[in-house]
């Protein structure tokens, strides 16, 4: 997991230790943007059940790194993650576990999510967004 070093992060590590999986949990703090691809390279999936996001750039970063994404329903994450990502209520840990298990065990699903996720992420490439914005301005300026 990548994020700020908070009390909650300590609780997550403690719970993982209690469950006997603490050795499998890696919490990274103050990671630079250039180091993110290396961290993503070691991931099997990306889980982001956040309720409060402005857009969901971390989902696009994961999609571009060829990592299947699970996000929260009821937020902007569905736009950022696209139709090939999976979504669940962030307050439903059983469904989250089910979706995680599906991605990790259903090879065809994982491959589909990766390929479709890459296609979706292309919609948000900087040059494409800039060209789309220019086209909008050109249409506006062309009107009498």
pTM of the predicted model as reported, rounded to 2 decimal places: 0.81
At residue 1, the 3 state secondary structure works out as coil
Same domain, 43 and 23: no
Tell me the residue range of the domain where 5 lies.
Answer: 1-30
Q: How confident is the model at residue 83 (pLDDT cuts 50, 70, 90)?
A: very high
Shared-domain flag, residues 42 and 11:
no
Same domain, 24 and 55: no
| Cα gap 33→10, rounded to integer Å | 23
- Residue 102 pLDDT exceeds 90: yes
Whether 49 contacts 72, CB under 8 Å: yes
- Could you tell me the CATH number of the domain that includes residue 94? 3.40.50.2000
Same-domain pairing of 95 and 26: no
Contact status, residue 116 vs residue 83, Cβ threshold 8 Å: yes
pLDDT digits (tens, 9 = 90+) for 123-144: 988 888 898 899 999 999 999 8
- Residues 65, 20: Cα–Cα separation, whole Å: 29
Residues 42 and 110 in one domain: yes
Structural domain tally of the chain?
A: 2
Q: Is there a single domain that holds both residue 1 and residue 61?
A: no
Angle at 44 between CA 126 and CA 42, to 5 degrees: 75
């Amino acid at each position: 997991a990548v994020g700020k070093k908070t009390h909650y992060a300590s609780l997550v590590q403690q719970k993982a230790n209690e469950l006997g999986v603490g050795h499998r949990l890696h919490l990274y703090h103050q990671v630079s943007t250039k180091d993110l691809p290396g961290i993503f390279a070691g991931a099997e999936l990306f889980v982001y059940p956040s309720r409060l996001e402005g857009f969901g750039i971390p989902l696009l970063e994961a999609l571009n790194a060829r990592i299947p994404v699970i996000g929260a329903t009821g937020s902007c994450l569905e736009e950022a993650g696209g139709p090939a990502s999976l979504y669940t209520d962030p307050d439903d840990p059983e469904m989250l576990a089910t979706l995680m298990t599906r991605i990790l065990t259903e090879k065809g699903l994982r491959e589909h999510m990766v390929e479709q996720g890459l296609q979706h992420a292309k919609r948000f490439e900087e040059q494409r967004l800039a060209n789309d914005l220019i086209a909008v301005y050109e249409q506006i300026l062309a009107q009498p």
